[in-house]
Amino acid sequence: MVRLQKRIRVGLGVLEHFTTTKWRFKMARVINMSESMKDTDKELFYITNVKQDIDKYMLDCILGARQYLMKEPLSSLPSARIHLKRLYYLDRVMTVLFYCLCGWLLLKGINTVRFCLEYSSHGLGGIPLLGGVVSSFS
């Protein structure tokens, strides 16, 4: 676990400069050059990335970061997917159990809540603004 955290920290340290810096690329010359090119030159010297598949590009970026930055082999990808799926289902189960516990505690402690509201209504009843609100609970 410590090794994994160290890998994540090193990876984030490497990417920090690139993710926190605002990058501006001035492409006026490239755009002017591509507009002045002939059609045959545009086919030979492909400049724009309009036809690039963004999904394939992002997949290559993620796999490249995993392989070269995190130093993890691509052969461990299926087991990592299974592990991630298990963690997802564990998270869902724990979330449901948490809300069930909160509901059970709320239902079990409803008499305690009612007692606290009745007790506080005696003390807060004399306050002009809160008196009407608190008295409506009792």
Q: Which two tokens stand for residue 15?
A: 């990417």
Domain membership of residue 89 (yes or no) is no
Number of domain units in the chain: 1
Domain membership of residue 128 (yes or no) is no
Domain membership of residue 87 (yes or no) is no
Domain membership of residue 102 (yes or no) is no
Domain membership of residue 10 (yes or no) is yes
Apex 64 CA angle, 62 and 69, nearest 5: 100
Which residue range forms the structural domain that includes residue 20? 2-72
- Quick: pLDDT tens for 96-135: 999 998 888 887 777 777 777 677 666 665 666 555 555 5
Q: How far apart are CA 41 and CA 32, in angstroms?
A: 14
For residue 54, name the pLDDT band (cuts at 50, 70, 90). confident
pTM for this entry: 0.45
Q: Which two tokens stand for residue 46?
A: 């492909």
Domain membership of residue 34 (yes or no) is yes
